[in-house]
Structure 1
Amino acid sequence: MPESWLTSIDSYCERLGPGFWAEPLNALTNGAFLAAALYALVLWRRAGARDWPALWLIAVTFVVGIGSFLFHTFANRWSLLADVLPIAVFIYSYFLIAMRRYLRLGLVVSVLVTMLFAAFNMSFDRLWFTVFPGVTLNGSVGYIPAAFALLTVGGLCLLGNERGPGRALMMAAGAFALSLVFRSMDSAVCSSLPAGTHFLWHVLNAVVLAVLMRAAIVHSSRKRPVHVPG
């Protein structure tokens, strides 16, 4: 592995040195993603264990937890990719599923809309810093389009009488917005809160993914929602 991939990254209050366990809260709270994946797996099995797109989301959520754990322990360039890539995969996968399952668009249209969202997402940083130069939000800017997507698709669901998915997406949007606040304020509270607030980003995001996966399982592509207890 090239030496540049081993370059250390120190982005959060909790890390005060290069050690593997230098971010114990940030590392261990990734267990919340594994718990969310297990919760969704139980729901998936109760719903018949045949919803393969939902199973894909569950698998990606598990990988999100592992990748984030790697980043908050090794804290270098290769582990950063292990952290951010699974998150991106979940975002685009869920967006595509939402187009098909909640808005009931055709496959080709759903893929095209997802590609447009991806293009907007990848260009958002440049747009943001053009309007708000120097406002980095502690590296959280890149997640703002995902929050917009939750609100927009949730609103469209409610307008289209898809009440269940709409409420779930709005609930997820609220929790995600709060998690973004905690992620953005981490570096600003170091002096008063040495552990920082990034670990709350993990916990709240696990809740967000659990809510989204449950919605995907309950409101499958079949005409009637699946009844899943819990």
Structure 2
Amino acid sequence: MTTMFDPIDAYCERVTAAYWAEPVNAATNLAFLLAALVMWRRTEGLPLARLLCGVLGAIGVGSYLFHTHANGVTAALDVGPILGFILIYIFAATRDFLGLRGWWPWAAVIAFLPYAALTAPVFAMALPLGSSAGYAPIPVLILGYAALLWRTAPETARGMALGAVILTVSLTFRTLDAPLCATLPFGTHFLWHILNGLMLGWMIEVYRRHMLAKGSARG
């Protein structure tokens, strides 16, 4: 009988169940922590941005735990903060980018779950994404927000579009980890960490710039 504490071998670099079986994957979680620290110092006075920074740091910690103690419990600690970041950002983008108040931001947050559940299998069937298919709906969603903002907030729209591009490249390296394992024994998953840390930090920066620009316009 399997349990949540049984070891998981999900990535090319891991060949044993030892703590340091994934040293590169484990160490590159510093990208999330560094991005969180940098953006924390840049987001004073923006509570929601500070919350995103805290969750970004939690992503780094959760991913580190998963790439050292690889089991079902740490897998949840890895994925949970990522989902949290997505939902918080959807709330922020709907309320502060699109200017929709009241129940709209909450409806957008709730709608993400069926959206992801319906579209991820489509990506899985259409493209050889493997476990990365679950993340594929996210850059599409980001581009959707960018399209909605293109006329009213073009700088924010361009920032969102750049974030979607970085995430797509990041997902490509995550997907190539297993296929390139024979060529690169340590895999390519570590590039997912580095680029994803950059991308999430950038998305917080996009929010920061939008809020500052909105404040300046009001002033």
Same-fold call, TM cutoff 0.5: yes
* Aligned equivalent of 1:154, options 120, 134, 146: 146
Specify the alignment match of 2:102 in structure 1.
107
CA displacement at 1:156 relative to structure 2:
1.4
- Select which of 93, 96, 100 maps to 2:88: 93
Structure 1 runs of 4+ aligned residues shifted over 2 Å read 122-129, 221-226
Query: 1:64-213 to 2 correspondence within 5 Å?
Result: 64-129=59-124, 131-132=125-126, 137-160=129-152, 162-213=153-204
Q: Which has the higher contact order (CA 8 A, sep 6+)?
A: 1
CA contact (8 A) 1:218 1:225 kept: no
Counterpart of 1:22? 21
Q: Which of residues 215, 222, 228 in structure 1 aligns to 2:206?
A: 215
Query: CA separation in 1, counterparts of 2:22 and 2:81?
Result: 21
Measured in 1, the distance between the counterparts of 2:176 and 2:214 equals 43
In the alignment, the residues of structure 2 paired with residue 197 and residue 156 of structure 1 have an alpha-carbon distance, to the nearest angstrom, of 34
Amino acid at match of 2:27: L
**C-alpha distance in 2, partners of 1:138/1:27?**
21
Tell me how far 1:113 sits from its aligned partner. 2.1
> What code does the residue aligned with 1:149 have?
L
Work out the percentage of aligned pairs sharing the same amino acid. 34
Q: Deviations over 1:51-91 (max 9, x none)?
A: 11111100000000000000000011100000001000001
- With over 3 angstroms needed to count, the CA separation of the structure-2 counterparts of 1:225 and 1:167, relative to structure 1, is farther
Letter in 1 for 2:29: N
Q: Note if contact 1:7-1:76 (Cα within 8 Å) is conserved in structure 2.
A: yes
AA in 1 matched with 2:23: P
CA separation of 1:98 and 1:92: change in aligned 2, threshold 3 A: same
* CA-atom RMSD in angstroms: 1.9
TM-score by length of 1: 0.89
Letter in structure 2 aligned against 1:60: V
3-state SS of the aligned residue for 1:107? coil
Give me the whole-angstrom Cα distance separating, in 1, the residues matched to 2:178 and 2:85: 26
CA distance in 1, matches of 2:90, 2:137: 11
Amino acid at match of 1:17: T
Number of corresponding residues: 217
- More displaced, 112-121 or 190-199? 112-121
> TM-score, length-normalised on structure 2?
0.93
Residue ranges of structure 1 left out of the alignment (5+ in a row)? none
Cα offset, 1:104, TM superposition: 0.9
Q: What is the alpha-carbon distance in structure 1 between the residues aligned to residue 216 and residue 197 of structure 2?
A: 23
Distance 2:194 2:83 in 1: 18
Q: Secondary structure at the match of 2:13?
A: coil
